[in-house]
Amino acid sequence: MRALDVPVAPAIVGLILGPLAEQQFRRALAISQGDATVFLTHPISLALLLLATLLVALPPIMRQRARARRRPG
């Protein structure tokens, strides 16, 4: 983890909360009879999904833009 510069604390939290989140995701799908649009129709869940997507996608995009700015040419 040190070689990849991965912080230990968030990784441990992810390992603990990951299975719980998956269990709740499966429960929500079972309640909605397999309809995944239930996550997009409620404003709170939609906002959380958009925020999570942004938090996952933004760092690589910012790194790539920073590399492009450093490159001469």
What are the domain boundaries of the chain?
A: 1-34, 42-73
pLDDT in tens, 20-61: 999 999 999 999 999 999 989 989 999 999 999 999 999 999
Q: Which residue has the higher pLDDT, 16 or 3?
A: 16
Cα-to-chain-centroid distance, residue 38: 18
pLDDT exceeds 80 at position 72: no
| CB contact at 8 A, 14 and 1 | no
**pLDDT the model gives residue 6:** 85
How far are the Cα atoms of 57, 68, 70 from residue 63, in angstroms, in the given order?
A: 11, 9, 11
**pLDDT the model gives residue 57:** 95
Cβ density class 18-30: b for 16+ within 10 Å, e for less: eeeeeeeeeeeee
pLDDT exceeds 70 at position 73: no
